[in-house]
Amino acid sequence: MSQSVKVNRHADILIGPHQISLDITNKCNLRCLHCYNASGENLIVDNELSDEEVLKFIDDISQIKLYNFCFCGGEPLLRKDLLIQCAKKLKSNGIHMISMVSNGILMTKETVNQLKEAGIDRVQISLDGASPCTHDRLRNKAGSFEKTIQGIKNLLEAGFDPNFAFTPTSFNIDEFKEVYNLLVSLGVKTGELKTQPLMLLGRADKNLEQIQATDLQYRRLVKELLKLNETSKGLKVAWGDPIDHLIRFRTVIKHCVDNCVVLANGNVVLSPYIPLVVGNIRKHSILEYWNNGLGNAWEYNIPRELAKNIVNISDMNKEFENIPKVIAEESLYIDLIDDDLDDLDALYN
């Protein structure tokens, strides 16, 4: 390890992170107009971890008794058999919560029952409109709305309490209340319907002219959220801020960040919204990275310097000299174990 080891302070009491998310694949059965990581056609899809590499990763993290593990993507169900095998391993090793995100299209009754049996605890489904007209337009595929609604029905029938994500755009943002009412009419009694500003990365960046909502539309959405929260007794609504962690992680909690993200090619990132990779599980195990300071990696100069460039949503798609553009270009690779995350010369040269 070429750099001086930072004092872990709070992170040293943890044997590993509390939460890990894994993009089990970036392949996808949709080409959504807003997809921040351009699933199905990004720089990762042709270099994904093999089944054996994923299972080795699962074996490694099973040693640390995570609170939560999330299967992300892409569409995770495109690797359903592997996902189920991993979930069973995690559950048998005492992982508290196993979750996944999905577009819902492949949530057949058989698949839902398999997920339940494997130990999946929580599923998040994306629903971006109250009708095929809006949902299918954003999802860029006719028929996706009906399949997603059926998938939600199948999850409810199997005893899941799903969460839901709604991406606001210029043409669907005024349907948020209708989406809420639709979910309630389907029998959703608990869980959360979450929305947040459009992330200006990947395909969203390319399609901004046709999908970006106005400030006035966002103000109306926030008012609707507040009204729903005042009257809701079951399904909750929430507003997310994708930029929030970039501020908190580099300032108030930089000494101990207890979650990590592993991309489909094994890259370990501190945030998917900055162009920095701090390791790869093909090179060192996730436990080696944790034991060498992953929990307090935000104390180093390079992550903090990159995060300073993004203080609001409009900064997400800005271009900075000598710094790769997130998703569109290969990220900087500065290995936490083998390189120096304090060396700002490595960032700008």
Note the pLDDT tens digit of each residue in 113-137: 999 999 999 999 999 999 999 999 9
Task: List C-alpha distances in Å: 330 to 3, 70, 199, 265.
Answer: 24, 24, 19, 12
| CATH number for 304 | 3.20.20.70
Position 14 scores a pLDDT of 62
Percent of the chain with pLDDT over 70: 95
| 208-244 confidence digits (pLDDT tens) | 999 999 999 999 999 999 999 888 889 999 999 999 9
The overall average pLDDT reported for the chain is 93
The answer to whether 238 and 192 have CB atoms below 8 angstroms apart is yes
Position 2 scores a pLDDT of 42
Residues 166-182, mean pLDDT to the nearest whole number: 97
Give percent helix, percent strand, percent coil of the chain, each to the nearest 5. 40, 15, 45
Position 130 scores a pLDDT of 97
Position 282 scores a pLDDT of 98
Position 232 scores a pLDDT of 81
Percent of the chain with pLDDT over 90: 85
Question: For residue 64, what pLDDT band results from cuts at 50, 70 and 90?
Answer: confident
Position 7 scores a pLDDT of 46
Position 258 scores a pLDDT of 83
Query: Mapping DSSP to helix (H, G, I), strand (E, B) and coil, where does residue 323 land?
Result: coil
- Structure tokens belonging to residue 115: 């997920």
pLDDT higher than 50, residue 4: no
Residues 257-276, mean pLDDT to the nearest whole number: 95
Question: For residue 15, what pLDDT band results from cuts at 50, 70 and 90?
Answer: low
The answer to whether 74 and 42 have CB atoms below 8 angstroms apart is no
Q: How many domains does the chain have?
A: 1
The model's pTM: 0.93
The answer to whether 229 and 184 have CB atoms below 8 angstroms apart is no
Position 5 scores a pLDDT of 47
Q: Which residue has the tokens 């106005």?
A: 214
Residues 176-185, mean pLDDT to the nearest whole number: 97
Position 257 scores a pLDDT of 83
- Dist. CA 196–CA 103, nearest whole Å: 17
For residue 146, the enclosing domain spans 1-349
Query: Mapping DSSP to helix (H, G, I), strand (E, B) and coil, where does residue 187 land?
Result: coil
Q: Name the range with the highest mean pLDDT among 10-14, 157-161, 342-346.
A: 157-161
Position 104 scores a pLDDT of 98
Sequence-ordered alpha helix ranges (H) in 99-187 = 109-118, 132-139, 144-157, 176-186
